[in-house]
Amino acid sequence: MVSTTPAGLKIQPRHMDFDFPNPLPRHWHSGDAFKSHLFDAMSVLFPDGERFFIDSVRNFREQITDPELLAQIRGFIGQEGHHSREHLVYSDRLRDLGYDVTRMENRAKKRIHYTQKKFSAKRQLAATAAMEHITAIMADELLRNDKQMKGAHPMMRQLWRWHALEETEHKAVAFDVYNQVGGNRKILHRAMRIGTFFFIKDTFLGLAHMLKEDGLLWNWRVWRDGLRWMWGKEGAFRPMIKTYKDFFKEDFHPWQHNNIELLYATRLEFDKAQEPAAA
Ligand SMILES: [Fe+2]
Ligand SMILES: [Fe+2]
């Protein structure tokens, strides 16, 4: 079983500069309010979250001597920086539609500020490694099953696939840094439990707010279909129960979920244009 990051894995940011539809179609994901707003609610949390991830890895950069990991840290910081930038434009489009994005952002900002003030740098890094696992397992599902983005606005599909690809590429960076600086599993597991709780809570509050603005908060069909899409027999989140739990195994490493082939396949979609022409 793999318990390390594949040797020679390159992590390079891609400059995308998405041309977001303006206005953003309110239900850009297949005309479905629940699906669209679940993605929206997560997206709003990303810019602040990703800045926190960058900071918490940066705090330990000087302690890392392995040149390969140092290169991956650079790639990780570049990728998360670009994600933040694109998701901020996304947030502005949501604001234009009348959603109280600032309130959602402030909730995340407050929580991050508290974490940075009250917890040690090591615990902050543990939180980052944990949250990166959550993004990694969601990214895997999104890339693996094309149906998850079926019917979505093409540019939005592209944005989420790009983000999922890069989350897959750098999924073990914070984890490897945490290990190299002697982080222990108990703190890591605790960080995961707390992080999961707040991530679900903040995403849910964002989703509920946007559904309320759409006049759909009390529409039982929206919830029935949405929850079925998430947790039903073929549900998008179903396969993640196992991969989520794996994080709590004593010898867990993110690349034990070896999706390198999926990563290579997805790269072809994005990197074709940048490959040097054959001589
Ligand atoms: Fe990201
Ligand atoms: Fe990430």
Q: How far does residue 220's CA lie from ligand 2's centre (Å)?
A: 34
> Could you read off the pLDDT of 38-84 as tens digits, one per residue?
999 999 999 999 999 999 999 999 999 999 999 999 999 999 999 99
Coil, helix or strand for 172? Answer: coil
pLDDT of residue 276: 53
Q: How far does residue 66's CA lie from ligand 1's centre (Å)?
A: 23
Q: How far does residue 199's CA lie from ligand 2's centre (Å)?
A: 14
9: tokens are 């894995």
Instruction: Work out the percent of the chain whose per-residue pLDDT is above 90.
Output: 95
Residue 170 has pLDDT above 50, yes or no: yes
Q: What is the mean pLDDT of residues 85-111?
A: 97
Q: Tell me the ligand closest to 169's alpha carbon.
A: 2
pLDDT of residue 192: 98
Coil, helix or strand for 19? Answer: coil
Nearest by Cα to 141 from 238, 267, 271: 238
More confident residue, 273 or 245: 245
264: CB partners within 8 A, 6+ apart: none
Q: Tell me the ligand closest to 131's alpha carbon.
A: 2
Q: Tell me the ligand closest to 168's alpha carbon.
A: 2
Domain locations in the chain as residue ranges: 33-270
Q: What is the mean pLDDT of residues 92-114?
A: 97
Rounded Cα gap, residues 131 and 51, in angstroms = 13
Coil, helix or strand for 238? Answer: coil
C-beta separation of 245 from 133 below 8 A: no
pLDDT of residue 278: 46
Residue 2 has pLDDT above 90, yes or no: no
90: tokens are 């996304």
Rounded Cα gap, residues 37 and 49, in angstroms = 18
Coil, helix or strand for 12? Answer: coil
Q: How far does residue 133's CA lie from ligand 2's centre (Å)?
A: 9
Q: What is the mean pLDDT of residues 22-33?
A: 98
Q: How far does residue 179's CA lie from ligand 1's centre (Å)?
A: 21
Residue 238 has pLDDT above 90, yes or no: yes
Q: How far does residue 202's CA lie from ligand 1's centre (Å)?
A: 17
- My answer on whether omega of the bond before 154 falls inside 30° of 0, hence cis, is no
Cβ of 258: how many Cβ atoms within 10 Å? 12
- The per-residue pLDDT of the chain, averaged, comes to 95
Rounded Cα gap, residues 174 and 123, in angstroms = 12
Q: How far does residue 163's CA lie from ligand 1's centre (Å)?
A: 6
pLDDT of residue 279: 39
Rounded Cα gap, residues 275 and 256, in angstroms = 29
Q: How far does residue 224's CA lie from ligand 2's centre (Å)?
A: 31
HEC profile of 83-130: HHHHHHHHHHHHHHCCCCHHHHHHHHHHHHHHHHHHCCHHHHHHHHHH
> Could you read off the pLDDT of 117-145 as tens digits, one per residue?
999 999 999 999 999 999 999 999 999 99
